[in-house]
Chain A
């Protein structure tokens, strides 16, 4: 059997296949992100008992229910604090937060900011579909200015978060952004980040054709994918201004920060324990 076929078969072992088909709508990007994530984990040879996946609430949050490892489907916005606790109790585990833009940056925004500042040893897979998918498509802190949602029927007046810029400003050692069109780059990015320490952030621009695409003339799964394909520009050296997302504008993707050697919170804490014991 080829390596790729082997990988696909191993993927089934990492899924709770008895729960498939999953709840996500036809063409929802979350499944593509999960697919890339599992492949990166398998390539890293991480044993199942050394991996924990923590999700918040939302369509993306349902991921915790499909991975065949110990996982937590936490309360809305609190995936990061749960994950911090897991990492403290079991520093030997790879702790991954897999959640949506509303969960991580609206209700959970303060946790994101402070966990990034402290450089907790977590990998954050942030699925940004520009909206609150699960609750019917309200605007949130990542909705582009001008976009139509159930709560912005005349266009969104807000300015969205620039997530890579936010993460970099807080010192996150690994920061990347891809779209679900970039299946290989995304997988490679997760593969790299899995081997690093500290607060690693990968933002994935993902399609929610059902409640976001529908209101923004991208009703079919393929039309959202074509938008990502046509408008993405890879630029690892993008300026903060270039990283900003606009309505139907260019999507600058890439690996924006990759810096080794910054001690994680857990490493600094161990050092404190060592000093106190002396």
Chain B
């Protein structure tokens, strides 16, 4: 399996859930599709994205920060792993 590994996980994503308005730019523009719409709802009724952790070793965050750049609501913080 490990020979098939395409990406190395570089970062993690913190979502400031109360700021999210559910536009899904982050989910759509994540190149490795590591974000998904969550089931949970914030106090305004929007479903913030959730970071998929360790679902598949090829589905990893590469720390490109695109989700952060596209978020119109300043709801995402990408933090590099040390």
Which A residues are closer than 8 A to B by beta carbons?
Answer: 1-2, 4-5, 8-9, 11-12, 15, 20-22, 24-32, 35-36, 39, 183-184, 187, 221-222, 225
Contact = CB atoms under 8 A, between A and B. Distances in A.
Given A4-B65, A222-B23, A222-B24, A24 B72 contact: yes
Given A2-B80, A8-B78, A27-B21, A21 B73 contact: yes
Nearest to B81: A2
B72 A21 contact: no
Nearest to B80: A2
A184 B22 CA distance: 22
Contact of B23 (A8, A22, A26, A36): A26
B21 A21 contact: yes
B79 A5 contact: yes
A183 B70 contact: yes
Given A27-B23, A30-B72, A32-B71, 11 more contacts: A4-B80, A5-B79, A12-B74, A21-B18, A21-B21, A24-B72, A26-B21, A27-B72, A183-B69, A187-B69, A221-B24
A1 B19 CA distance: 23
B6 interface: no
B49 to A, nearest CB: 13
Which residue, B22, B69, B79, has most C-beta atoms of chain A within 10 A? B69
A222 B71 contact: no
A25 B78 CA distance: 23
A75 B70 CA distance: 30
Interface residues of B, number: 24
A151 B63 CA distance: 45
B38 to A, nearest CB: 15
A14 B74 CA distance: 12
B19 A221 contact: no
A21 B78 CA distance: 19
B15 to A, nearest CB: 13
A31 B23 CA distance: 12
B68 A8 contact: yes
Interface string B31-66: 000000000000010100000000000000001011
Contacts of B78: 4-5, 8
21 contacts: A1-B80, A2-B63, A2-B80, A4-B63, A4-B78, A4-B80, A9-B77, A20-B19, A20-B74, A21-B19, A21-B21, A21-B44, A26-B23, A27-B21, A30-B72, A32-B69, A35-B69, A183-B66, A183-B70, A222-B23, A225-B25
A88 B78 CA distance: 41
Contacts of A225: 25, 28
Contact of B22 (A11, A26, A30, A36): A26
B77 A28 contact: no
B72 A28 contact: yes
Contacts of A39: 69
Nearest to B20: A21
